[in-house]
Amino acid sequence: MLVRRFWATIPDVDTTHEPTPERFQLGSAAAEAYEAQFVPALFAQWVAPLLDLAGVRAGQRVLDVACGTGVVARAAADRTGREADVIGVDLNEAMLAVARRIRPGIGWQASDVTDLPFPGGTFDAVLCQMALMFFPDRHAAMAEIARVVAPGGVAAIAVPASLDDQEAFAPFVELASAQAGPAAAALLSTYFTCGDLDELTRLASAAGLHDVASRTITGRYRFGSIDAAVTTEVESTPLIDRIDTQVYQRIRDGARELWQPFVTPTGALDAPFTAHLVVGRKPR
């Protein structure tokens, strides 16, 4: 309940429709840390379920929207069997540079989700993992995603569930937001603003997608220690530019206490993190 009350005090929170200034833009060092730390600890686990839900298979043309450092596109290329049939697009050049270095054979392009540089109906599957919440106009973004799906093809998205469903993360967001002030609070709150499954389903339907289906998966937020998790949470995200060293230390101290229930006997952090996956098909 505390989190709910706290939320109510922050503007730009908990809406699918209103603009948010948060676009998760990183510099080169943070993009490298994102790929090295955050992807294996959190983002990689949703990739296989997302590709399964979308039915990605050999011979398909696949687009990864807001691809970041490319974890979804790489796995898609492994399934389709041809890197040349997979494209990743993202706003952020630092993320794209990491993606290009790791897998140069995939087509990596700078693009905003609302202005994709492809003719309508280009892709059998369009995927978007952990990024919808950063799109200022989510209806326009979903419409553009649906536009580039081929008739009979699919669009599939993955997003964090609402903060009310995040047993471990809700108290951390509350702590960090209280310590770090409005700019950090706005960022942390944004992560969870697409987490209402009914709204997500309506968003997909409003974009003209049919047979909308979903999966909710409680995965793991796993790091070698609480400190390692805090370091990644700050240094692999735009938070690094928004807090000073004192605030960083206070967040670290607070996290050591509040995440104690999720520490394993070896000192690792192993906490639940819930995500929604939604897929819809473009009519033939």
Ligand X SMILES: C[S@@+](CC[C@H](N)C(=O)[O-])C[C@H]1O[C@@H](n2cnc3c(N)ncnc32)[C@H](O)[C@@H]1O
Q: 3-state class of 215 per DSSP?
A: strand
User: Residue 63 or 130: which CB sits closer to ligand X?
Assistant: 130
Closest residue to ligand X: CB criterion: 68
Which stretch, 63-71, 117-125, 181-189, 254-262, contacts ligand X (CB under 6 A)?
A: 63-71
Question: For residues 109 and 250, which CB has a smaller minimum distance to ligand X in the complex?
Answer: 109
Is 100 one of the binding residues for ligand X (CB under 6 A)? no
Residue 40, C-beta contacts closer than 8 angstroms, at least 6 positions apart: none
Residue 40 to residue 44: CA distance in whole angstroms:
5
- Dihedral sign computed on CA atoms, order 240, 248, 188, 165: positive
Least distance in angstroms from the C-beta of 147 to ligand X? 14
- Positions 185 through 214 that interact with ligand X (CB under 6 A): none
Among residues 30, 33, 62, 95, which is the contact residue for ligand X, using CB under 6 A? 95
When binding is defined by CB under 6 A, the residue of 134, 169, 248, 273 that contacts ligand X is 134
Q: Of the candidates 53, 56, 71, 106, which one interacts with ligand X according to CB under 6 A?
A: 71
Number of residues that bind ligand X (CB under 6 A): 21
* 112 lies in the binding site for ligand X (CB under 6 A): yes
Q: Spell out the residues 6+ positions from residue 104 whose beta carbon is closer than 8 angstroms to its own.
A: none
Using H for helix, E for strand and C for coil, what is the string for 159-202?
Answer: EECCHHHCCCHHHHHHHHHHHHCHHHHHHHHHCCCCCCHHHHHH
Residue placing its CB nearer to ligand X in the complex, 66 or 200: 66
Q: Which helix (H) or strand (E) holds 150?
A: strand 149-160
| Candidate residues 90, 124, 196, 233; the one interacting with ligand X per rule CB under 6 A | 90
Question: Which residue number, 19 or 151, has a Cβ lying nearer to ligand X?
Answer: 19
Q: Is 12 left (phi over 0), alpha (psi -120 to 50) or beta?
A: left
248 near ligand X, judged by CB under 6 A = no
- Residue whose CB is less far from ligand X, 113 or 269: 113
20 binds ligand X (CB under 6 A): no
20, 80, 129, 193: which one binds ligand X (CB under 6 A): 129
Q: Smallest distance, Å, CB 161 to ligand X?
A: 15
Assess 130 for contact with ligand X (CB under 6 A).
Answer: yes
Q: Does residue 89 sit in helix, strand or coil? A: strand
Sheet with 123-129, edge to edge strand ranges: 107-110, 86-90, 62-65, 123-129, 149-160, 269-281, 210-223
Q: Which residues of the chain form contacts with ligand X (CB under 6 A)?
A: 23-25, 39, 43, 66-68, 71-72, 90-92, 95, 112-113, 129-131, 134-135
